[in-house]
Chains A and B, each alone.
Chain A
């Protein structure tokens, strides 16, 4: 049988060890001092979507062609797109308005998966709080457009893969165009040859 009171003393030793230990062993303290000490986010972390542009000018380098696939696929319907038109009213391959309401967005990444033009990607910025409930949480085109360099900065692996795919697509397209041109050239050459030497009739 224990001496009465020993259990209490053991308890006091435990708390004292934790109290003093928290000053000596730094890894006891699991709290992260947030604004000073930022978490190192994993590479695949994501917050909300943004639009990628190539080159320097956001408008000129915009990859988005306003196909509206993301708008249709978005489960909470937080994307709003209006296609741009020229002076004659002919539709152009770029959006005039591209809004994402990040207070509605659920970060599901479906828009990224369905985009055939590698145009929409997930951002990692999570410090988006604002004093304005409605206006500042609806991001318009100017806020959404971010450069490809920025994309490489936040998701290096994914961005390189995307660039490789775009490059491969471009080469394939070029090769196809070259082959088509070659075929067309051949066809015209054959036609010309036929016209010069009409084939003999075979019996």
Chain B
């Protein structure tokens, strides 16, 4: 098990040693080492993307009591290969009136932040591609680049649906970035660092021998995790916040004028971005690569990390299967009138938890600090939409 824990790093080192004994210069080896890490991370996430694209369809199908894709390969697992071939062989259309350079650049610009943010996630014990002191800051700063890409795509297409979709995307992403970042800050505040590795380390150990010290087990952490999760759904343009590409009203939003491999690149960047933000969610609140129970620590840490990421991605599909798309004004009202005050409450609650000594009393205090705003805001929201039995004027 110890061997498996170190396997990815040891494999890389062994490979580099072999190359070194073959007379590859030292400077070359350092570059090769970086390339190997980058290649592995990108490869793993592309694999996850391929798996996700078919599993999402299968899960949605099962929720709707269908089989889902099961024709290509065993259990339809080769579906991504078929999709990829289809996407690659499609015609790449560029509208005549489009801004051709920006239209071409948009998918590339979309891909860059999605891949860059993968660098700072701790994938396992001592397995961080780039050990950055302010990793959380880097994640959100670079991650905001996707908004530029989406707006570039919408603007360059010179299509009213594209522009509408892009404008919705900007409104949505800017609104949801605030609760997202504030709820992330709570975790950084309690861990006392912006470094993802330190935040994960702060969630290690077990209370009473079996309860993990994950932030999600505390009232402020649970609230912040929910807020972060909702913000993450909106940031990755996933249902129920998929308004930018709401096909019932906007054709496909900013993707309307994209086809072939450019469309696939957008799709890929969106999914990799989704996995990245799932990874950030796991790092901040679900204990990163820490095992959930003491006796499970024998399982390699990177398996725990990717297991948790896949679980969070599964819940995102579950959410997609359950909730209908929001209306634009509801979307923004929800962000500004509910998520933002709640994220301040979570922030305050985390502070209370810290200064009350992080014990049972602190637990209770932070629950009250976060519970009262929730009830007040929640009731003020739900009381306006009273559900009553529908009465028919003429048919009964």
Residues of A at the B interface (CB closer than 8 Å) are 1-5, 7-8, 11-12, 14-16, 18-19, 21-23, 28-31, 33
B322, A11: Cβ atoms closer than 8 Å: yes
- B238 CB, nearest partner CB in chain A, Å: 15
A22, B65: Cβ atoms closer than 8 Å: yes
What range describes how many residues of B lie at the interface?
20 to 34
Beyond contacts A1-B382, A18-B65: 17 other A-B pairs, Cβ-Cβ < 8 A, are A1-B383, A4-B374, A4-B375, A4-B378, A4-B382, A7-B382, A11-B323, A12-B318, A12-B322, A15-B322, A19-B63, A19-B318, A19-B321, A22-B62, A22-B66, A29-B65, A31-B67
Q: Is residue B206 contacting chain A, with contact meaning CB distance below 8 A?
A: no
Kindly report which residue of chain B lies nearest to residue A10, judged by CB atoms.
B322
Q: Is residue B388 contacting chain A, with contact meaning CB distance below 8 A?
A: no
Give the contacting residue for A4; candidates B64, B321, B379; CB below 8 A: B379
Given A12-B318, A19-B62, A22-B62, are A29 and B323 also a contact pair (CB < 8 Å)? no
Which residues from chain B contact A7 at a C-beta distance below 8 Å? 382
Interface residues of B in 298-338 (CB under 8 A from A): 318-319, 321-323
Give A5 to B319 CA distance when docked, in angstroms.
14
Q: Is residue B59 contacting chain A, with contact meaning CB distance below 8 A?
A: yes
- A22 CB, nearest partner CB in chain B, Å: 5
Residues of B at the A interface (CB closer than 8 Å) are 59, 62-67, 318-319, 321-323, 374-375, 377-379, 381-383
- A198 CB, nearest partner CB in chain B, Å: 95
Give the contacting residue for A18; candidates B63, B67, B374, B375; CB below 8 A: B63
- 8 CB contacts below 8 A, A to B, read A1-B379, A3-B378, A5-B378, A11-B322, A15-B321, A19-B62, A19-B63, A29-B65
Which residues from chain A contact B66 at a C-beta distance below 8 Å? 22, 29, 31
- B313 CB, nearest partner CB in chain A, Å: 15
- B222 CB, nearest partner CB in chain A, Å: 12
Give A60 to B254 CA distance when docked, in angstroms.
69
Which residues from chain B contact A12 at a C-beta distance below 8 Å? 318-319, 322
Given A11-B322, A11-B323, A15-B322, are A4 and B67 also a contact pair (CB < 8 Å)? no
- A29 CB, nearest partner CB in chain B, Å: 6
A16, B318: Cβ atoms closer than 8 Å: yes
Give A16 to B318 CA distance when docked, in angstroms.
8
A18, B62: Cβ atoms closer than 8 Å: yes
B67, A29: Cβ atoms closer than 8 Å: yes
